[in-house]
């Protein structure tokens, strides 16, 4: 067991890798009552073309299968199902799937070892039949249609679809009604056996726990399970052009005020920065350019071009960074013209960057006192960077305006796509 102390954040992180490859991270916080435990696999909706374990040929599985698999692992052959089990122990359980990971979790205050053992067990005991797979299709179809009826979700998904040409991140995490109809139990077992090996998974536990006791409990649980020898997972290499798939699209939906989403697709292959720096600088850039106190946002509200603060987010692949700006506006062309002029001409001063850097540092301190954010921080690092950055405070402290400026100068805003959602 390795112990890493982060003195500036008053945190200790305990880490261990088991013989089967499973990584365990424990962060004790004895001043809280809850324990938050997550069990994740580095497998998400984008991983739909791969060579299955013990095979040689590349296959493509139906879109949405990672999310479908998440649902089906809650189906148990015998004994209590997860929601029933955790309701009896006084804990909450859930799961979620993203583009690059699937996570199963519980939150509780008592019977932690019992809850943890059950979490490790139910995720390790797939039970798929033709009947229960068919039954699930109707449930997920309704979930997909619900998101399609929501302007926020549908607009964001359509934007990603129109930005990317080949990258499977363009497909919604849940897939489509057509794609899930093709899923079979054989597909599910193939994906499970390939991606749910302990060497591709990790456990993160944050809260009021004794690290040694928790790690010993995981060891004891895993000792009873048999796994094949770890193998390197081979995914299909995606070739994605810089150009967007579709420049503009209008959606007619039930919405009171029209909404415009703009996504700039930026090649980051030649940026001489590591992934963590790109993520940090992209977040700082968006906050400074489009945050609630940015001159741009305040001027647009004053001029009546938008009627509320801008929203923004980012999506990153190995080759591209997508900066997304969302605005409620009746003046689509005016807003888009002003936005394009702004991103190409506006400069950020060192004083602004240094102010934002203080925000990053204070956010890191805030994160260190929250068991959910600590857990999320570790999960994201393991998936995004395949390693842990043990001192986020020092990382942000070392960021410089000079490197930030290099990042900004490398941004190109020529390739972008828009989604305009208006009342039908």
Structure confidence at residue 142 as a pLDDT band (50, 70, 90): very high
Please say if the pLDDT value at position 33 is more than 80: yes
Structure confidence at residue 162 as a pLDDT band (50, 70, 90): very high
Total-model pTM: 0.94
Top pLDDT among 272 and 265 is at: 265
- Here the tokens at position 176 are 């489509």
> Strands 59-60 and 49-51: what pairing?
antiparallel
Please say if the pLDDT value at position 76 is more than 90: no
Give the mean model confidence (pLDDT) for residues 362-369: 92
Q: Which residues contact 80 (CB under 8 A, 6 or more apart)?
A: 88
Helix pair angle (371-384, 350-367), 10° resolution: 110
Q: With contact defined as beta carbons under 8 Å apart, do 198 and 18 qualify?
A: yes
- How many percent of the chain have pLDDT more than 70? 100
Place of tokens 């122990």: 89
Q: How far apart are CA 119 and CA 104, in angstroms?
A: 8
Please say if the pLDDT value at position 424 is more than 80: no
Q: With contact defined as beta carbons under 8 Å apart, do 406 and 348 qualify?
A: no
Please say if the pLDDT value at position 261 is more than 90: yes
Helix pair angle (295-302, 275-290), 10° resolution: 30
Please say if the pLDDT value at position 99 is more than 80: yes
Give the mean model confidence (pLDDT) for residues 198-203: 97
Question: Residue ranges of the domains in the chain?
Answer: 2-235, 248-423
Second-level CATH architecture of 2-235: 2-Layer Sandwich (3.30)
Beta-sheet strand order (sheet of 59-60): 59-60, 49-51, 234-235
Half-sphere exposure of 421 (CA within 13 A, CB side): 24
Q: Which residues contact 90 (CB under 8 A, 6 or more apart)?
A: 108, 109, 110, 111
* pLDDT reported for residue 80: 85
Give the mean model confidence (pLDDT) for residues 355-373: 94
* pLDDT reported for residue 226: 87
Q: With contact defined as beta carbons under 8 Å apart, do 379 and 101 qualify?
A: yes
* 2-235 and 248-423, same CATH topology: yes
Q: How far apart are CA 104 and CA 96, in angstroms?
A: 7
**Alpha helices by DSSP H, 24-176:** 65-72, 82-89, 112-123, 130-148, 151-163
Second-level CATH architecture of 248-423: 2-Layer Sandwich (3.30)
Give the mean model confidence (pLDDT) for residues 372-384: 94
Query: Got the DSSP string for 281-348?
Result: HHHHHHHHHHSTT-HHHHHHHHTTS-SS--EEEEEE-SSEEEEEEEEE-S-HHHHHHHHHHHHHH---
- How many percent of the chain have pLDDT more than 90? 89
On average, the pLDDT of the chain sits at 94
SS3 content of the chain, % helix, strand, coil (to 5): 45, 20, 35
Count Cβ atoms below 10 Å from residue 94 Cβ, excluding itself.
Answer: 14
Please say if the pLDDT value at position 150 is more than 80: yes
Residue 142 pairs in a beta bridge with none
Please say if the pLDDT value at position 200 is more than 90: yes
> Strands 11-17 and 2-6: what pairing?
antiparallel
Give the mean model confidence (pLDDT) for residues 289-313: 94
Give the mean model confidence (pLDDT) for residues 329-346: 96
* pLDDT reported for residue 8: 85
Give the mean model confidence (pLDDT) for residues 311-330: 96
Please say if the pLDDT value at position 272 is more than 90: no
- Here the tokens at position 275 are 């992934």
Give the mean model confidence (pLDDT) for residues 86-113: 96
**What are the phi and psi torsion angles at 81 (to 5°)?**
-75, 155
* pLDDT reported for residue 11: 92
Query: Got the DSSP string for 220-257?
Result: HHHHT---PPP---EEPPP---SS-S-SEEEEEES-SS
**How far is Cα of residue 231 from the mean position of the Cα atoms in its chain?**
24
* pLDDT reported for residue 172: 96
Please say if the pLDDT value at position 3 is more than 90: yes
3-class secondary-structure state, position 401: helix
* pLDDT reported for residue 293: 83
In the 8-state DSSP scheme, what is residue 61? P
Give the mean model confidence (pLDDT) for residues 319-347: 96
70, 136, 277, 326: which one is catalytic? 70
Q: How far apart are CA 161 and CA 167, in angstroms?
A: 9
Catalytic-residue membership of 356: no
- Here the tokens at position 203 are 């456990």
Q: How far apart are CA 346 and CA 290, in angstroms?
A: 12
Query: Got the DSSP string for 33-58?
Result: S-EEEEEEES--TT--EEEPTT--S-
Structure confidence at residue 386 as a pLDDT band (50, 70, 90): confident
* pLDDT reported for residue 260: 97
């Amino acid at each position: 067991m390795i112990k890493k102390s982060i003195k500036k954040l008053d945190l200790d992180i305990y880490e261990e890798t088991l013989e089967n490859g499973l990584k365990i991270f424990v962060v004790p916080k004895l001043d809280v009552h809850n324990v938050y435990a997550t069990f994740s696999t580095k497998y998400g909706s984008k991983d739909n073309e791969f060579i299955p374990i013990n095979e040689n040929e590349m296959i493509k599985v139906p879109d949405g299968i990672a999310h479908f698999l998440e649902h089906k692992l809650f189906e148990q052959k015998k004994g209590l199902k997860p929601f029933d089990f955790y309701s009896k122990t006084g804990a909450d359980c859930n799961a979620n799937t993203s583009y690059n990971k699937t996570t199963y979790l519980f939150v509780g205050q008592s019977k932690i070892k019992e809850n943890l053992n059950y979490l490790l067990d139910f995720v390790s005991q797939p039970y798929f039949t033709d009947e229960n797979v068919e039954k699930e299709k109707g449930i997920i179809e309704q979930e997909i249609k619900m998101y399609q009826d929501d302007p926020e979700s549908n607009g964001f998904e359509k934007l990603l679809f129109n930005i990317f040409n080949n990258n499977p991140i363009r497909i919604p995490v849940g897939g489509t009604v057509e794609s899930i109809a093709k899923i079979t139990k054989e597909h599910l077992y193939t994906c499970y056996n390939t991606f749910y090996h302990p060497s591709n998974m990790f456990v993160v536990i944050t809260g009021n726990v004794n690290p040694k006791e928790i790690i010993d409990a995981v060891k004891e649980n895993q000792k009873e399970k048999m796994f094949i020898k770890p193998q390197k997972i081979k995914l299909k290499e995606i070739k994605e052009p810089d150009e967007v798939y579709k420049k503009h699209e209008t959606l007619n939906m039930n919405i009171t005020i029209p909404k415009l989403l703009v996504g700039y697709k930026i090649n980051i292959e030649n940026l001489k920065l590591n992934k963590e720096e790109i993520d940090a600088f992209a977040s700082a850039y968006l906050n400074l350019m489009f945050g609630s106190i940015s001159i741009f946002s305040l001027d647009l509200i004053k001029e009546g071009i938008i009627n509320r603060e801008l929203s923004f987010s980012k999506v990153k692949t190995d080759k591209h960074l997508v900066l997304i700006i969302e605005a409620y506006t009746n003046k689509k062309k005016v807003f888009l013209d002003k936005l394009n002029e702004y991103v190409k001409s506006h400069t950020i001063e060192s004083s602004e960057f240094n102010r934002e850097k203080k925000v990053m540092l204070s956010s890191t301190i805030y994160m260190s006192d929250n068991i959910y954010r600590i857990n999320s921080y570790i999960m994201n690092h393991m998936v995004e960077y395949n390693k842990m950055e043990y001192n986020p405070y020092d990382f942000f402290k070392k960021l410089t305006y000079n490197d930030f400026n290099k990042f900004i100068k490398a941004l190109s805003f020529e390739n972008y796509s828009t989604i305009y959602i208006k009342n039908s």
